[in-house]
Structure 1
């Protein structure tokens, strides 16, 4: 048995992955947690598997020959780690740097709260700026913020699904949330196994919202942990394919809204997205993005 199995899914971010792994091993050593690390590489073409084998021979490497998606790859890692009977799974993005004490703070939060099934870290950007990492479940109001221009002061509010920055300040106590950002998720192993991990039909994006929804539905609570700080550079894989990424995002959102909400709310969401995407298609001069917005309009029309 080990304390934590750390699962990192990578795709063409080998330099960030090296920094991430070094920070993980440093924190494991400092905390004296019994941990093992699995890297699941989704068919990178930048030499990631060879680099991991060379620099980190103690990492368990799964080198996929194709890209099954973020959720499916995390499920692969958790399934492989089951043989070591971890008490927790820690799902971590590769474009991160774990700050000292973060892993232990996340685990201690769940150890001290028997109702806690999952915990997420406090995130900052590479330059130290605050990054939102705790969210309310999305609804129609968030779609308004995503699709149409609104006063800047409203973007940091609960209306846009954000918890107050002050609640995530260092030194603040953990607090219950709807869902964390998928970059860092500490999950009890028995909760992960009982809820069957990620829904693999979400290829990329929204899978952490869906899983959090299901975890919450079974009676578990999810916590944000301000004392667990992790640097998250953000979007290092997805920005390599911007048009594809925006289509993937809105396809996953369509699936999420269809599963989470009733007929009336979904009908309103469909209309909003179609109006918003037609507006974006008219405004852009980028032919790839124009095609992406038109594709999204069609996806939402058909759900």
Structure 2
């Protein structure tokens, strides 16, 4: 009999998934199986795991010919899993020896709870805030989008998104937990038809939590055990824009769950906030390139202004009618730099040369 099925989705993180499996095999749990679904990794993950664990019958590996996304891959694993509980675990995590048994005992003792998650620690030892969250309604998301949650983490209003005002070492009933580590009753998972496969990589955990809540089950944050999560390792090699994928998932979540009952005004506010946050995130990610282009524009303009009196022995103020000339000059040099990938590849500029 299998009590717990550990479901892992991997994508080009063979060393991390091996370390995760090694930690699982050291656990106090005996009646378990490990199912790894590989989403068409190009780092030879499947062959590596087959060679490393060929002698262990409780480890199953499913190899996909395409990257089908996180939610669909978990559903694949759940379709062949035999456990009473599913432990959905990211490949870039390390659990403690008692983690699985602690989580199973908690659900055994709390029949009204459908899913739980442990305390999650970053690689630097800090708390990973996503391990306990509220649903992103307008009143919850607004302080987060405005950055107020960082300024006032202990405020019940500003800190509600990640529940930063709660004691991180105490058990709490929460709206949502992190998709990197979810311990759920298998019967409930199948009752809800698993993850919504329209969410490719982000948002499927939040969507599942919302549907659990709608089915009158509680979700608990249980810091009686903890895991380490080396966040974002799979995303590093993803062939898509992770920021864009994340915010598109949030828009899908808002459209799915806040379309009618919460009113069109609330839905519009959420979408505007998501788009604003998405724009700020993209600007933050490209800040080096933006700074380089801005500096180059300024340097080329100043060079143009200095060159005029040196060439013609006099200087005339740039009027509106003459402003097109330096504009074209600046545009030309910025375009040349972009053509040779001066900004995208090297994060350099003329001004740094």
Q: Tell me the TM-score normalized by structure 2.
A: 0.73
Contact 1:156 1:162 in 2 (8 A): no
Distance change (3 Å), C-alpha of 1:250 and 1:155? farther
- 1:136 equivalenced with 2:137 (yes/no): no
User: Paired residue for 2:49?
Assistant: 52
Q: Tell me, in whole angstroms, the C-alpha distance in 2 between the residues paired with 1:99 and 1:122.
A: 11
Q: Which runs of 5+ in 2 are unaligned?
A: 291-353
1:89 Cα deviation from its structure 2 partner: 0.6
Q: Tell me, in whole angstroms, the C-alpha distance in 2 between the residues paired with 1:48 and 1:278.
A: 35
Q: Tell me, in whole angstroms, the C-alpha distance in 2 between the residues paired with 1:242 and 1:68.
A: 12
Higher relative CO (Cα under 8 Å, sequence separation at least 6) belongs to 1
1:282 Cα deviation from its structure 2 partner: 6.4
1:153 Cα deviation from its structure 2 partner: 2.8
The alignment's C-alpha RMSD in Å is: 2.3
1:216 Cα deviation from its structure 2 partner: 1.2
- 1:265 equivalenced with 2:262 (yes/no): no
Contact 2:243 2:281 in 1 (8 A): no
Q: Tell me, in whole angstroms, the C-alpha distance in 1 between the residues paired with 2:198 and 2:43.
A: 26
- 1:64 equivalenced with 2:64 (yes/no): yes
Q: Tell me, in whole angstroms, the C-alpha distance in 2 between the residues paired with 1:241 and 1:164.
A: 30
What does 1:92-241 align with in structure 2 at a 5 Å threshold?
Answer: 92-132=89-129, 133-145=131-143, 147-150=145-148, 152-155=150-153, 157-158=155-156, 159-160=158-159, 161-164=161-164, 167-169=167-169, 172=170, 174-241=171-238
Contact 2:19 2:94 in 1 (8 A): yes
Higher strand share: 1
SS of residue matched to 1:15? helix
Contact 1:145 1:155 in 2 (8 A): no
Q: Tell me, in whole angstroms, the C-alpha distance in 1 between the residues paired with 2:242 and 2:216.
A: 33
Encode CA deviations 1:92-121: one digit per residue, 9 max, x unaligned. 000000112111111111100010111101
Q: Tell me the TM-score normalized by structure 1.
A: 0.85
Moved more, 190-199 or 159-168: 159-168
Encode CA deviations 1:9-38: one digit per residue, 9 max, x unaligned. 0101111111100001111xx23x300000
- 1:36 equivalenced with 2:33 (yes/no): yes
Q: Which runs of 5+ in 1 are unaligned?
A: 289-303
1:149 Cα deviation from its structure 2 partner: 4.2
Q: Tell me, in whole angstroms, the C-alpha distance in 2 between the residues paired with 1:63 and 1:197.
A: 20
Distance change (3 Å), C-alpha of 1:56 and 1:281? closer
Q: Tell me, in whole angstroms, the C-alpha distance in 2 between the residues paired with 1:213 and 1:109.
A: 21
Q: Tell me, in whole angstroms, the C-alpha distance in 2 between the residues paired with 1:286 and 1:202.
A: 31
Q: Tell me, in whole angstroms, the C-alpha distance in 1 between the residues paired with 2:143 and 2:100.
A: 33
